[in-house]
Amino acid sequence: MQKKQQFQLVNPFSDEFLQTWELYKAYRIELDGFKFKGVISEQMAIKKVVELSGGDEERAIRIVEQTISSGKWMGFYPLHQTKYKENGKSTTKNGQPKPDLRNEAIEEFNRRNGIGGQQTDNSHLKAV
């Protein structure tokens, strides 16, 4: 007779992640009564979070919190880029400037067609 192998949950991060994970499990019970069938299915869910976060604990915690704060999600998704205004310019949540699509398109057009950008001193308008 073969003994049934017992698995233990492996926490890939610190206790802070584990606390957030416990909140997620409580959220799922509250949302739809879901409980993991066992350690293996729970470990696979944690593995998904680790993969989405690229192994970064802070990012993993934000991914789990994003799911909880949605109020309706059951799974995990890459972090959404939240837009903020900083000095009148759009930025992403991490403070990076939001790309200006129009200017990017103009730059790409100019690059492909060998056209340099205009000079800021308006010297391009002076007669030769």
Kindly report, residue by residue over 46-105, the tens digit of the pLDDT.
999 999 999 999 999 999 999 999 998 889 999 987 655 545 555 555 555 556 677 777
The answer to whether position 126 is within a domain reads no
Does residue 125 fall inside a structural domain? Answer: no
- Give the Cα-Cα-Cα angle 73, 78, 79 (nearest 5 degrees): 90
SS3 state at 89: strand
Do 63 and 92 belong to one domain? no
Which domain does 42 fall in, by range? 15-70
Q: Is residue 75 part of a domain?
A: no
Domain count, the chain: 2
Q: Which two tokens stand for residue 91?
A: 């930025």
Partner residues linked to 91 by β-bridges: 84, 97
Cα distance between residue 115 and residue 69, in whole Å: 48
Query: What mean pLDDT do residues 8-15 have?
Result: 95
Within a domain: 77: no
Residues 64 and 104 in one domain: no
pLDDT tens per residue, range 13-52: 999 999 999 999 999 999 999 999 999 999 999 999 999 9
Q: For residue 107, what pLDDT is reported?
A: 77
Determine, yes or no, domain membership for 7.
no
- Assess if residue 89 is contained within a domain: yes
Structure tokens at 102: 């129009």
The residues near 59 (Cβ < 8 Å, ≥ 6 apart) are 52, 53, 79
Q: DSSP strand E in the chain: where? A: 84-86, 89-91
pLDDT of residue 126: 62
CB within 8 A of 73, min separation 6: which ones? 66, 67
33 and 59 within one domain: yes
Percent of the chain with pLDDT over 70: 71
Whether residue 57 lies inside any domain: the answer is: yes
